[in-house]
Amino acid sequence: MTDEQFLNTHNASILLSAANKSHYPKDDLPEVALAGRSNVGKSSFINTLLGRKNLARTSSKPGKTQLLNFYNIDDKLRFVDVPGYGYAKVSKSERAKWGKMIEEYLVTRDNLRVVVSLVDMRHAPTADDIQMYEFLKYYEIPVIMVATKADKIPRGKWNKQESLIKKAFNFEHDDYFIVFSSQTRQGYDQAWDTILECL
């Protein structure tokens, strides 16, 4: 099944922003959540997959997305843009609020089918990245790991970076790993195929 046959990926819009459970959409459409460090490229990933320039707001300033943003895709599935973690200039109480919001969504949301966990392909994963992966594993939430900004490293180094990242995560074989760039659209087909496979 190709994505073209299943859904019109260009028919997408922001549905709502939610701070807690009471604001989540009340239906049973499948959801795909995007998690990752602030500035890693979550919103860019959404825009690339939906073929839109600025549907999900991107910024060079980290820490911008403060709520869970739900995007409706052709009335068949939703992307949920989760605020980034690991941004230093955030107060302790803000961080705690953030943690509660993410945890509530990831742990209680029946609609959630898979988490796309984004990491920066240029660097070793941070402690926050590893903690997020272990959290997802603990709750048995399927993970698609997406290594972003592949355009910033030479193709000849991709394999080495992939091994390094997988090793740091103690990566499980039945999780997916995709090399991605929102600049070149590297990984676009694989990302859609994998997401649809998980629904």
Q: How many CB atoms lie within 10 A of CB 25?
A: 15
Q: Is 125 in the site for ligand GTP (CB under 6 A)?
A: no
Using CB under 5 A as the binding rule, whether residue 65 contacts Mg ion is answered as yes
Surface-to-core class of residue 193, CB atoms within 10 Å of its CB (0-12 exposed, 13-18 middle, 19+ buried) = middle
Sort 61 into a burial class: Cβ within 10 Å, 0-12 / 13-18 / 19+.
exposed
Query: What, of Mg ion, ligand GTP, none, does residue 161 touch, CB below 5 to 8 Å by kind?
Result: none
User: Total residues at the site for ligand GTP (CB under 6 A)?
Assistant: 24
Nearest approach, Cβ of residue 32 and ligand GTP (Å):
15
Q: How far is the CB of 74 from Mg ion (least distance, A)?
A: 22
The option from Mg ion, ligand GTP, none interacting with 142 (CB < 5 to 8 A, set by class) reads none
In angstroms, the CA 66 to CA 35 distance is: 13
62 binds ligand GTP (CB under 6 A): yes
Residue 180: closest CA among 158, 196, 197, 195: 158
Q: Which residues bind ligand GTP (CB under 6 A)?
A: 36, 38-44, 58-60, 62-65, 83-84, 148-149, 151-152, 181-183
